[in-house]
């Protein structure tokens, strides 16, 4: 169990250094005949900074995401990036929601996105239910 002080600290990291991406995209599958277009959600969270130890601590506490070096221009300090996506992002958003301020709008969108889905054991979603949810989302939001 993660202490509330750690959750509040992580929320502060995201408010100051973090980035949250929540968007619906049209993706073309070039390796398929006819190049069909698929509607996909891109949900990502990341923090980039020069202090690797903070990101390693974050990764150990949350238990999700990855920590990797980030490409930087010559002459600049080396940067590190922690990032996660989709359901891992939902997990992190649920943890830090009470303490977030700057990124609260996108955090709430991610929570609402996953809250309406019917999760079953082992994170498996019924295919028929998922199709109905996606159909409903697409018709309502019109993106």
Which pLDDT band, with edges at 50, 70 and 90, does 137 fall under? very low
Closest among 4, 40, 8, 41 to 22, alpha carbons compared: 41
pLDDT tens per residue, range 46-71: 999 999 999 999 999 999 999 999 88
Q: How many Å from the N-terminal Cα to the C-terminal Cα in the chain?
A: 38
Confidence (pTM): 0.74
pLDDT band at 116 (very low <50, low <70, confident <90, very high): confident
Domains and CATH numbers, the chain: 4-141 (3.10.28.10)
- 136-140 average pLDDT score: 46
pLDDT digits 0-9 by tens, 68-103: 998 888 999 999 999 999 999 999 999 999 999 999
């Amino acid at each position: 169990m993660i202490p509330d002080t750690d959750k509040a600290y992580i929320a502060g990291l995201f408010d100051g250094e973090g980035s949250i991406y929540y968007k619906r995209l049209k993706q073309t599958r070039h390796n398929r005949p006819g190049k069909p277009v698929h509607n996909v959600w891109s949900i990502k969270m990341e923090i980039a900074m020069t202090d690797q130890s903070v990101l390693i601590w974050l990764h150990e506490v949350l238990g999700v995401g990855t920590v990797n070096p980030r490409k930087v221009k010559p002459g600049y300090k080396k940067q590190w990036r922690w990032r996660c996506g989709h359901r891992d992002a939902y997990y992190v958003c649920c943890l830090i929601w009470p303490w977030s301020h700057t990124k609260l709008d996108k955090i709430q969108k991610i929570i609402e996105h996953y809250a309406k889905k019917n999760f079953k054991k082992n994170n498996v979603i019924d295919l028929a239910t998922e199709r109905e949810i996606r159909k409903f989302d697409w018709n309502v939001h019109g993106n």
